Amino acid sequence: MKITVLFYRVRERDDARAVVGSEIIEAESRAVAIREAQLLARTLNMPQSADAMSLSDADGAVFHTEDLREPPIEGNV
């Protein structure tokens, strides 16, 4: 399945978001896509560090969002 991953910065005072990176990935499942996106969040060269990410399917429906400022829960990376 084709998945769009958006990485963005979040402005605290009004929750405004600015995209700092995006990737389209192929994954066999949503769980695999989430793991791949978490890896990209740590390794992708972006102009700024991302605060959050969202994943959407080919129809544009968002199925996962994640705050990257929080440390990952062990076993979920």
Averaged pLDDT, 40-56: 94
Does a structural domain hold residue 76?
no
Domain count, the chain: 1
Residue 76 has pLDDT above 60, yes or no: no
Q: Is the pTM of this model over 0.75?
A: yes
Q: In the prediction, which pLDDT does 73 show?
A: 60
CA dihedral for 45, 9, 17, 25, sign (positive or negative): positive
**For residue 41, what are the domain limits?**
2-67
Q: Give 35's contacts (C-beta < 8 A, 6+ positions apart).
A: 77
CB 41 within 8 A of CB 7: yes
69: helix, coil or strand?
coil
Averaged pLDDT, 18-33: 96
Does a structural domain hold residue 38?
yes
- Token pair for 28: 């066999």
Does a structural domain hold residue 52?
yes
Distance CA 77, CA 72 (A): 7
